[in-house]
Structure 1
């Protein structure tokens, strides 16, 4: 949802602003459901699995988190929130099966409770690394 890294001076204000946004979230449960792609069938870019369950509550949480981030001066994407889990990316110029996401159409996984919201720091590169920066309990 956020664009870029959170500058160090904004991290503490962000932590403070996010806490009530998450605290207002009731206990929620989600499940993997269906799938799709970003990009065309001939030139797909991202394969994703959709989410089912308490998606309206998750969408409301995403809105509160975006407002909290904007409130501390961070840039947030303007496009609507689409609940999904990215499971893969196709590299430009490499063979791609754009029909793959369609094979997930009828899939419904088990439901799981969402215990927390986590802020991660991404270190992208040949071997991406992810560092947990902060977490807030849900419900």
Structure 2
């Protein structure tokens, strides 16, 4: 993944029509959640250890706040006709996709992934995907999280 593409997916929306976009931006701008203190929390993978589909960085910190943001986004986007994914929300940052190598992926290599490196999330962002581009995500609009503490 290109470093500019690192993010936590709050909700995957899929194909979005121009008609949906105006309403979507309106409902997202009405979300009122607090800024979040988050931290990196190791790494893992989805798929087999021989050829992982996704290598990810774990996230810890204010997961209650992150789950609240997720719930608010789901509720807001539902008003625009978007459907909630069936899989459970699991906060992570995708680092790499579709391992291709001559040898089995070295699972031990991720045991030294950073833990405790923190940041303050003070906004969430609506992004568009451009497949096969690098970076592949384009920021459409950012929405500040409520700055009252």
TM-score interval for Structure 1 and Structure 2 normalised by the shorter chain: 0.7 to 0.9
User: Size of the alignment, in residue pairs?
Assistant: 136
TM-score, length of structure 1 as denominator length: 0.84
Match of 1:138 among 133, 142, 145: 145
Asked whether the 8 Å contact 1:90–1:96 carries over to 2, the reply is no
Q: Rate the CA distance shift 1:12–1:100 in 2: closer, same or farther, 3 A.
A: farther
Structure 1 spans left out of the alignment, 5+ residues = none
Provide the rounded CA distance (Å) in 2 between the counterparts of 1:3 and 1:115: 21
**Deviation (angstroms), 1:82:** 0.4
2:21 corresponds to 1:14: no
Q: Rate the CA distance shift 1:93–1:34 in 2: closer, same or farther, 3 A.
A: closer
Q: Rate the CA distance shift 1:93–1:55 in 2: closer, same or farther, 3 A.
A: same
List structure 1 runs of 4+ shifted beyond 3 angstroms: 91-96, 126-129
Partner residue, 2:126 = 119
Match of 1:4 among 8, 11, 14: 14
Structure 2 spans left out of the alignment, 5+ residues = 1-10
Aligned CA-pair RMSD? 2.2
Match of 1:56 among 44, 64, 75: 64
